[in-house]
Structure 1
């Protein structure tokens, strides 16, 4: 245990704890004399640790600075201060962290990255025992700037994240896995992105590719909105007042689930059904509802209903729906595979909401690595806690 001597610096209002570490046999030189590390504040007083950090001659790494027991190499803060900062960063806003600890936001990001790496190295490998994973990309800045996130469905935690998206980025994750870790993965959930299919096929040829039911329904809702916009523009250009009056209030009504409709939206949908039951918009809404309830049915019944949906959509003569029908027909086996095993990307979608909150809290970070560190502190099950005294 290093010797400690406490002094009060009245001019600076700080408490200095002078630490004297044990002298190493391989000491190379004094390394520039005393160094200071920021520690947790003592009430209204700032606290710094002062100690010698000599350079030592290492047979493997050459001449390096000796490591001190209270701080990480290259850091100007003690481990307790960094743990407090990481905990605050995960639960508080940028202004709170910077004002309470009197540090810059960029410094808080660097501390979060170091703490996340330190806590991650002390835990069992997150890649062991994977059976089902979820893959998705999340935007965190304007200009199509994304991060790719991988979630462990069994343990309900984020196990990997990296800046960017695409096959090249997901390949980086699979290359970090050993042969045994890759062989244990039986299912990969995600949206219908082709780059996910290509990467999974290359690295996990025996794994089942499961489409998320949320994204399957979102394909139809996007198509339904395209149909509504086209019909609205046609009615507006043709001065068809009857059609424009009928379509008023339908922008959100056709996209919502029937149980979530307001009274006004329900009335607008009933008016559409009574005035134009064979119209393109109402038939598109019916197809959306049929596809929405598909994942909640037994496998045998779902297969028959999907066949019926494909027949109705292909003969609907609605250009947007016919185009979507081609996509659904190509992914028919993947859609039925979603219903069978019961895997869902709902866990990843829930994490996406939490990640979005983290992105707002991390506003101002210039590097994706600091943002990813915050995501891991909040979503990876790392044992983040406030420092407590040893009793």
Structure 2
């Protein structure tokens, strides 16, 4: 029941305290995990990411097995010291079998992988590459919005404010109203900074879908256009893209993506909301394992 319902619901249904339900989840997850084959055997490609579970920059670090599509490890905190704990639990054979590690551009992931898996390929996830550009695009919009407000141009300010949810959209969406609004800014953005930034975002988004040779040429063209765009936010991002150029191209070849890990993050967020009021992070990690690690939990068959 804990795998599909909140602890408060389980406690009321079974007439036990919700704290007791959390303790039971931790004990069951430990017992089931010890009865299964070691989850660290046969790892070939893993994904690493952190997700917040409480206000105040409190995170848990999650490691996902791409091949078997399950969470294999989770721990309170984030950073190189936390990820080092995971790699130290692996045997030499288990570390040697890992060929690729996906994740965002965090330096602590780079440092830990370089120390413990010197022969593994560090894959920069395309999801986060596009998110860099999306965040930069919103920074451009905010700057233009603030400029319009300071200039008492209410029409331009309202237009920029209304484009908040338009700039992340893709042109293949059925509703192109927001995209047409970007194309016809005209008076409110005479230099076309927001629309040109959106075009650069689309070029970067389609990059991972192209063959490696073509993607290398397209990335070179993107860097040239971005560096000559005269848009401060885009020029700053261009410097970051240029520094991580080899990592970005390495993403395209293997075809690994952190999309599965991002999906697990959404499931973890739901688990956190359902476990509202928990006091011990170990109980939360136990619930994550029950829901995302493939542990053999089965509900009773309903009677028809």
What is the deviation of 1:285? 1.0
The DSSP-based 3-state class of the residue aligned with 1:327 is helix
Per-residue CA deviation, residues 261-301 of structure 1 (Å, 9 max, x unaligned), is 556975xx232268757422121111111111111111111
What is the deviation of 1:249? 2.1
Gaps of 5+ in 1: 1-87
Larger Rg: 1
Deviates more, 1:190-199 or 1:244-253: 244-253
| 1:273–1:353 distance in 2 versus 1, CA, 3 Å | farther
| 1:277–1:334 distance in 2 versus 1, CA, 3 Å | farther
| 1:313–1:385 distance in 2 versus 1, CA, 3 Å | same
Per-residue CA deviation, residues 95-148 of structure 1 (Å, 9 max, x unaligned), is 320111111111111111110010001000000000000000011111111000
The DSSP-based 3-state class of the residue aligned with 2:62 is strand
Contact 1:132-1:154 within 8 A present in 2 as well? yes
| 1:158–1:338 distance in 2 versus 1, CA, 3 Å | same
Contact 2:53-2:60 within 8 A present in 1 as well? yes
Contact 2:104-2:125 within 8 A present in 1 as well? yes
| 1:129–1:242 distance in 2 versus 1, CA, 3 Å | same
Per-residue CA deviation, residues 281-324 of structure 1 (Å, 9 max, x unaligned), is 12111111111111111111111110011111111111111111
Corresponding residue number in structure 1 for 2:177: 262
Corresponding residue number in structure 2 for 1:153: 66
Greater relative contact order (Cα < 8 A, sep 6+): 2
Counterparts of 1:271 and 1:245, CA distance in 2: 15
Per-residue CA deviation, residues 49-93 of structure 1 (Å, 9 max, x unaligned), is xxxxxxxxxxxxxxxxxxxxxxxxxxxxxxxxxxxxxxx111112
Decide which structure has greater helix share.
2
Per-residue CA deviation, residues 331-374 of structure 1 (Å, 9 max, x unaligned), is 10110111111111111111111111111111111111000000
Contact 1:105-1:364 within 8 A present in 2 as well? no
The DSSP-based 3-state class of the residue aligned with 1:275 is coil
Of residues 343, 350, 370 in structure 1, which corresponds to 2:283? 370
Counterparts of 1:228 and 1:110, CA distance in 2: 48
Contact 2:102-2:256 within 8 A present in 1 as well? yes
| 1:261–1:136 distance in 2 versus 1, CA, 3 Å | farther
Contact 1:253-1:261 within 8 A present in 2 as well? no
Counterparts of 1:200 and 1:273, CA distance in 2: 48
The DSSP-based 3-state class of the residue aligned with 2:39 is coil
The DSSP-based 3-state class of the residue aligned with 2:299 is coil
| 1:132–1:264 distance in 2 versus 1, CA, 3 Å | closer
Decide which structure has greater strand share.
1
Per-residue CA deviation, residues 151-201 of structure 1 (Å, 9 max, x unaligned), is 000000000000000000000000000000000000000000110000000
Pairwise CA RMSD of aligned residues? 2.5
The DSSP-based 3-state class of the residue aligned with 2:186 is helix
The DSSP-based 3-state class of the residue aligned with 2:300 is coil
What is the deviation of 1:247? 2.8
The DSSP-based 3-state class of the residue aligned with 1:161 is strand
Aligned residues: 301
| 1:178–1:264 distance in 2 versus 1, CA, 3 Å | closer
Contact 1:253-1:265 within 8 A present in 2 as well? no
Counterparts of 1:344 and 1:388, CA distance in 2: 36
| 1:108–1:100 distance in 2 versus 1, CA, 3 Å | same
After superposition, where does 1:57-72 map in structure 2 within 5 Å?
Answer: none
Gaps of 5+ in 2: none
Contact 2:103-2:125 within 8 A present in 1 as well? yes
Normalised to the residue count of structure 1, the TM-score between the two structures is 0.73
Corresponding residue number in structure 2 for 1:132: 45
Counterparts of 1:110 and 1:251, CA distance in 2: 44
What is the deviation of 1:390? 18
Counterparts of 1:237 and 1:390, CA distance in 2: 67
Contact 2:215-2:249 within 8 A present in 1 as well? yes
What is the deviation of 1:240? 3.1
Counterparts of 2:136 and 2:303, CA distance in 1: 61
